[in-house]
Amino acid sequence: ELKVEQNPLFLSMQEGKNYTIYCNYSTTSDRLYWYRQDPGKSLESLFVLLSNGAVKQEGRLMASLDTKARLSTLHITAAVHDLSATYFCAGGYKLSFGAGTTVTVRA
Amino acid sequence: DTGVSQDPRHKITKRGQNVTFRCDPISEHNRLYWYRQTLGQGPEFLTYFQNEAQLEKSRLLSDRFSAERPKGSFSTLEIQRTEQGDSAMYLCASSSGGLAGLARTQYFGPGTRLLVL
């Protein structure tokens, strides 16, 4: 069964600075997903990464995948308050989720 | 096109009562999934359907839990004899995907928040 570990679990960001969330997974997964969850809300799909070296970008968020290292990263550029949320990575056909990274962006 | 919908959004019940939740997936999606999420944790897989067939169930799904998708469209998740430990957010998701093919991105509904007193 796929195990997914994220770090850090909590991330306090300063507006305007850059940060990275790391996602390690235990076994081969054909694709890796990133989701965002706002407090009390459901999950919003951000990215799906399909192959080694894949890079996807949307606004201030960029996700990448290294299948050899079994590592995905979510990079946040010039953090803004609207990015405050919990971010999950997940893999497998019956999604196995990491514990999530709770991001708080402060002025 | 609407997204995944779930009903009810909130449910408060007393221990020992039965509850049933409904999920309506995105209309063209043939796969439907149920997950449970407790506070501060990531969602945990419970079960999934390909059309009307229930293909896999997690060990988390005790005998008190049953799920159906009778016509391959909406699904219901029933919990019998609820316990306080069942309190959680129950999330439904849907995706496209074939028997031999890979599942696509799962789109989640708003969830049903269950509180067992």
**Is B48's CB within 8 Å of A94's CB?**
yes
Torsion sign across C-alpha atoms A10, A83, A104, A77: positive
Q: Which of A44, A94, A98 sits opposite B56 (nearest CB)?
A: A94
Interface membership of B45 toward A (CB under 8 Å):
yes
**Other CB atoms within 10 A of residue B73 CB:** 15
- Condensed to tens digits (0 to 9), the pLDDT of residues B42-96 reads 999 999 999 999 999 998 888 999 999 998 899 999 999 999 999 999 999 999 8
Q: Which of A30, A44, A99 sits opposite B102 (nearest CB)?
A: A30
Residue B108 tokens, joined = 């989640």
* Cα distance between residue B36 and residue B64, in whole Å: 15
Q: Beta A101-106 vs A10-14: how paired, if at all?
A: parallel
* Cα distance between residue B78 and residue B61, in whole Å: 11
State the smallest CA–CA distance between residue A71 and chain B in angstroms.
Answer: 18
pLDDT at A74 (0 to 100):
98
State the smallest CA–CA distance between residue B112 and chain A in angstroms.
Answer: 10
Please tell me which residue of chain B has the smallest CA distance to A100.
B42
Q: Give the H or E element holding residue A45.
A: strand A43-49
Residue B28 tokens, joined = 């063209």
**Other CB atoms within 10 A of residue B83 CB:** 12
In this predicted structure, the answer to whether residue A87 has a pLDDT above a threshold of 90 is: yes
pLDDT at B104 (0 to 100):
84
Largest CA distance in chain B: 43
User: B83 vs A93, which has greater pLDDT?
Assistant: B83
Angle at the Cα of A77 (from A32 to B110), degrees rounded to 5?
50
In this predicted structure, the answer to whether residue A60 has a pLDDT above a threshold of 70 is: yes
**Is B41's CB within 8 Å of A100's CB?**
yes
* Cα distance between residue B84 and residue B98, in whole Å: 37
In this predicted structure, the answer to whether residue A65 has a pLDDT above a threshold of 70 is: yes
Q: How confident is the model at residue B1 (pLDDT cuts 50, 70, 90)?
A: low
Q: Is A16 helix (H, G, I), strand (E, B) or coil?
A: coil
Please tell me which residue of chain A has the smallest CA distance to B94.
A94
Residues B82 and A73: beta-carbon distance below 8 Å: no
**Is A94's CB within 8 Å of B41's CB?**
no
- Condensed to tens digits (0 to 9), the pLDDT of residues B95-105 reads 987 655 566 88
